[in-house]
Amino acid sequence: MIYSRITGTGGYLPEKIMTNGELERIVDTSDEWIKTRTGIIKRHIAAENETTCDLAEHAALKAIAASGINPGKIDLIIIGTTTPDVIFPSTACLLQKRLGIHGCPAFDVQAVCTGFIYALDIADKFIRTGAATTALVIGAETLSRILDWTDRSTCVLFGDGAGAVILEASPEPGIMSSHLHADGEYNELLQVPAGISRYPEKLKNGTAFIQMQGNEVFKVAVNTLGRIVDETLEANHLEKEDIDWLVPHQANTRIISATAKKLNMSMDRVILTVDQHGNTSAASVPLALDVAVRDGRIQRGDTLLLEAFGGGLTWGATLVKY
């Protein structure tokens, strides 16, 4: 039996930091409101000439170094992103060139904030079926490019960044199970309602921005994440106490606390980065994973529950034996 295992992680955040105090000068908001409602203190914003592929490259090189593999061994590249550098080619193909890799499949997955969980599941299935042995799986975003900096209900929430893992074939698991879901019925709760084919003029004049019904998204997120925790535990015949670390999508501390409560988990077993990174969409889970691997909290053999939800609406979870 072939499984896939995470053998290296990497993360990258742009140099420029934007604090809540700086946002107070741009929109009618306050540090107090942002901290209380979301837990966010600061976020990183890509420089004008810095792209999603740039962030992905930094994170990928760190993951490659951490795993100790030769980049030439990589035979699959998947990037979860909603903010690709260009309409096409995919950001994965742009990155493939930079890494000097030729010939292997390389593509992007668009599942908004659940993008990394979707990408990880796809890579795991390639490896389990023998179609790949060494996958580079990334979540990378420059969400700042699709924010309306006059809309206080969205611009305070998001940030830029990238997280990466190397996933290698292994006789031992690894990825224990993944559970992906979507319900397009809720597509209008969280969207950029313009693009290449619908209202292309908004794309051309730079007004294709994130719109969100925050309250509704909050309710659906808490419900769906609660259900997916049960689904993942049942599929693996595990009890709540068997999870060592929750590595959640970093959208909001109140949503994360609700999931931790559902797992009877104290917050000191939850990896929390939303305070420092804001919501980095598909980058948020691999970035949080990398932070906790590098600071030594997550150790080999630990059982991790990764989960995310986002536009679509999409949601998903992965159980990992690290």
Footprint of ligand COA (CB under 6 A): 29, 33, 37-38, 113, 152-153, 156, 190, 212, 214-215, 217-218, 221, 251-252, 255, 279, 309-310
Nearest-approach distance from CB 113 to ligand COA, in angstroms: 4
Question: Can you tell me whether residue 308 is helix, strand or coil?
Answer: strand
Distance of CA 173 to the CA centre of its chain: 22
223 among known catalytic residues = no
Q: Closer CB to ligand COA, residue 205 or residue 215?
A: 215
Q: Per the structure block, which two tokens stand in for 124?
A: 């795991």
Q: Check if 93 is active-site.
A: no
Q: Which of 185, 173, 197 is nearest to 313 (CA)?
A: 185
User: 8 pairs with which residues across the strands?
Assistant: 166
Known active-site residue 44: no
Q: What is the DSSP string of 188-206?
A: GGEE----SSSSHHHHHTT
Q: How far apart are CA 120 and CA 9, in angstroms?
A: 13
Nearest to 162 by CA among 127, 136, 123, 195: 136
Q: φ and ψ at 255, to 5 degrees?
A: -70, -40
256 versus 293: smaller Cβ distance to ligand COA: 256
Which distant-in-sequence residues (6+ apart) come within 8 Å of 215 by Cβ? Answer: none
- In whole angstroms, the minimum distance from the beta carbon of 254 to ligand COA comes to 7
Query: Which residue, 221 or 298, has its beta carbon nearer to ligand COA?
Result: 221
Q: Which residue is nearest to ligand COA (CB)?
A: 214
To the nearest whole angstrom, how small is the minimum distance from the Cβ of residue 224 to ligand COA? Answer: 11
Q: Which of 113, 155, 179, 252 is catalytic?
A: 113
Cβ of residue 11: shortest distance to ligand COA, in angstroms? 19
Of 94 and 190, nearer to ligand COA (C-beta) is 190
Select 95 or 255, whichever has its Cβ closest to ligand COA.
Answer: 255
Nearest to ligand COA of 85, 307 (CB atom) = 307
Coil, strand or helix at 276? helix
Minimum distance from CB of 127 to ligand COA (Å)?
A: 28
- Per DSSP (E only), the strands in the chain are 3-12, 17-19, 42-44, 76-80, 106-109, 134-142, 160-170, 175-182, 190-191, 211-212, 245-248, 303-310, 314-321
12 φ/ψ sector (left φ>0, alpha ψ -120 to 50, else beta): beta
The residue from 58, 179, 277, 279 that is catalytic is: 279
Query: Smallest distance from the beta carbon of 70 to ligand COA, in angstroms?
Result: 36
Among candidate residues 44, 249, 252, 277, the one labeled active-site is: 249
Name the residues annotated as catalytic.
113, 249, 279
